[in-house]
Amino acid sequence: MSPEDILVPTPSGVCCKAGGFHIDPTRPVAKALITHGHSDHARAGHGAVLATQETLDIMRLRYGENFATSTQAVAYGETIKLDGVNVSLHPAGHVLGSAQIRVERGGLRIVVSGDYKDVPDPTCAPFELVPCDVFITEATFGLPVFRHHNADGEIAKLLHSVELFPERAHLVGAYSLGKAQRIIALLRKAGYDKTIYLHGAMQKITAYYQERGIDLGHVELVSGAKKSELAGTITICPPSAMTDLWSRRFPDPVAAFASGWMRVRARARQRGVALPLVISDHADWDGLTKTISATGCSEIWVTHGQEDALVHWAHLQGLKARPLDIVGYGDEEEGEPAEAGA
């Protein structure tokens, strides 16, 4: 049996014909398995949706009660059978509820990792290494220049800036699902115990994280605060809001942006960022290559991102490798649609 007998890559996601399902399809299908709640992977309008409870909840928060005809929650580690195909979900360490999907039939194991990172994150279950024959990986940061070790160091940089400019407001651009909550949790871990303000777009998901028992301390919507009260404070907002009219409510704001893209100076400058924070929810180059090697796979498929370099690297390691060119991934998590095709 070849891997293609189990999973077929299509431009709108990978499809398991035998099991009758798609994984993270970018167009409506009868049965979808969803790795995580980011909108480029989790879309509304499918028939049946299978995912972790958290991912289902997040989809419900974003798309409303009727985002799918039916839903089924699958716990991490639980194996379900879909028309003779064994399917199980395993933590991906990307955001709350994110999962890798292991698909096995006739002894051949394929892992669809979705988006993942192999470093600790206080807001989600840690990445689990799942041995497999074929590893389907992302490559958002698939170039050796992307290395984002030590998020704590970046948080220290932010706190140093807050201390140095007490009369200014610090705006931290971060994606509303996952990154925002991780930044808050990291700030708490570093001992920052003041109120952290939120842009309205962050509210629902942040409240959900708190409901799930993740301690984020005291957070508050920024819309109620006066300009003068915001001196010396930290506000988490969507990246686009930093240059929006919205930012004028803050006293001389310092624009910070938490993203793996901030590793490249031209990227930070293009966005007018004064305080780039290299904090990413994706595996960096070292994380991608280490993980691929550790799964023991003999073949990788690359869904999206900087696939050229990763495919080249895999060939150097004697692995089979192919890019899948899936259209539409990478649209949400880094908020830069132009990146999807790059």
Partner 1 sequence: MNRFAELLDRLSYEPARNNKLRLIADYLRKTEDPERGWALAALTGALTFKHAKGGMIRALIAERTDPALFALSYDYVGDLSETVALMWPADPNHRANKTPSLTDVVETLSTLGKAQLPAQIARWLDALDETGRWALLKLVTGGLRIGVSARLAKTAAASLSGKEPDELEIIWPGLAPPYLDLFAWLEGRGDKPNNLDAAPFRPAMLAHALEETDLAALNPEDFTAEWKWDGIRIQAVSGRDENGEPVMRLYSRTGEDISKSFPDLLASLRLPAAIDGELLILREGRVQSFNVLQQRLNRKAVTPKLLNEFPAHLRAYDLLAEGGEDLRELSFAERRARLDKFITQLDDPRIDLSPQVTFETWDQLIAARANPAEGGAGLDAEAVEGVMLKRRDSVYVPGRPKGPWWKWKRDPMIIDAVLMYAQRGHGKRSSYYSDYTFGVWNGDNELVPVGKAYFGFTDEELKEIDCFVRRNTVNKFGPVREVTHDAATGLVMEVAFEGLQRSTRHKSGVAMRFPRISRLRWDKPPRDADRLETLEKMLVKIEVGRAA
Residues lying near partner 1 in the complex (CB under 8 A): 143-147, 157, 161, 164-165, 242-248, 252-253, 255, 263-266, 268-276, 306, 308-309, 312-313, 316
CB nearer to partner 1: give 1 or 245.
245
162-198 b/e (C-beta count within 10 Å ≥ 16 → b): beebeebbbbbbbbbbbbbbbbbbbbbeeebeeebbb
CB nearer to partner 1: give 194 or 265.
265
CB nearer to partner 1: give 68 or 256.
256
299: its two tokens: 């073949």
Report the nearest approach of partner 1 to the CB of residue 278 (Å). Answer: 8
CB nearer to partner 1: give 226 or 248.
248
Report the nearest approach of partner 1 to the CB of residue 300 (Å). Answer: 16
Q: Which long-range contacts (CB under 8 A, 24 or more apart) does 1-5 make?
A: 1/105, 1/106, 1/108, 3/108, 3/110, 3/133, 3/134, 3/299, 5/105
| CA-angle at 154, arms to 153 and 158, nearest 5° | 115
| CA-angle at 189, arms to 216 and 100, nearest 5° | 70
Report the nearest approach of partner 1 to the CB of residue 118 (Å). Answer: 18
SS3 222: helix
Report the nearest approach of partner 1 to the CB of residue 268 (Å). Answer: 6
CB nearer to partner 1: give 124 or 139.
139
CB nearer to partner 1: give 146 or 208.
146
Report the nearest approach of partner 1 to the CB of residue 252 (Å). Answer: 6
Strands 13-16 and 99-105: unpaired
Report the nearest approach of partner 1 to the CB of residue 208 (Å). Answer: 30
CB nearer to partner 1: give 76 or 246.
246
Report the nearest approach of partner 1 to the CB of residue 321 (Å). Answer: 14
> Which segments within the chain are labelled E, that is strand?
8-10, 13-16, 21-23, 31-33, 46-51, 68-73, 79-82, 85-91, 99-105, 108-112, 134-139, 170-173, 196-198, 219-221, 234-237, 254-258, 275-277, 299-305, 320-323
